[in-house]
Copies of this chain bind each other. A is one copy, B any other.
Amino acid sequence: MTCSDQLDLFSPAQRRERVVEWQVPAPVAKVAMGLSGMDAMLGIRDGRLPPPPFAKLIGFTVGTVEPGRVVVELEPREDLENTIGLIHGATAAGLLDTAMGCAISTRLEAGQSSVTLDLKLAFLRPLSVRSGLISAEGKVIKLGRQTSYAEGFVRDGKGALAVHATATFSMIASNLT
């Protein structure tokens, strides 16, 4: 690594930027907790509720919302890349944790929610900015009173399975006041 290499790598000509915008989440959460999970998901999908900040940061959107099944979508970008030019695995973790958690949500009433206990990902095929529209499908396998279990699939733009996941969720009931 020579001095000139370093100058190149840090040069302003090689700099890229992206502006991430989101809405303050606390008031949204308060409204969402008064809705059934299905209504909250549809509210986000249809633009009546702002998505959570992390969704804006990663840049994914909600696609299909059905009872027990949610699909989120992402157009891959350079700012999601890791050191070797692939989309960082945590991107798929974010899509899948969200899609599975939201799939659980669609089966919950107002005042109920869930948090992820265990998340297991298997990376089967690398994703890159050339992967086309990436989709993550979450499906409920078992809805329980204390814990629930879901499965998830990330597919590239051609429908090839790239990441498979399973997750266990702890169910929580909040008071609404």
Q: Which residue of B lies closest to A40 (CB)?
A: B83
Q: Which residues of B contact A124 (CB under 8 A)?
A: 141-142, 144, 149
Q: Assess whether B82 is in contact with A89, with CB atoms less than 8 Å apart.
A: no
Q: Assess whether B23 is in contact with A14, with CB atoms less than 8 Å apart.
A: yes
Tell me whether A31 and B85 are in contact in the complex, defined as CB-CB below 8 angstroms, given that A17-B19, A24-B16, A123-B118 are known contacts. Answer: no
Q: Assess whether A10 is in contact with B94, with CB atoms less than 8 Å apart.
A: no
A140–chain B nearest beta-carbon distance, Å: 12
Q: Is A84 an interface residue (CB 8 A)?
A: yes
Q: Which residues of B contact A54 (CB under 8 A)?
A: 79-82, 88, 90-91
Within 8 A of B (CB), among A30-74: 31-35, 40, 43, 48-50, 52-54, 56-58
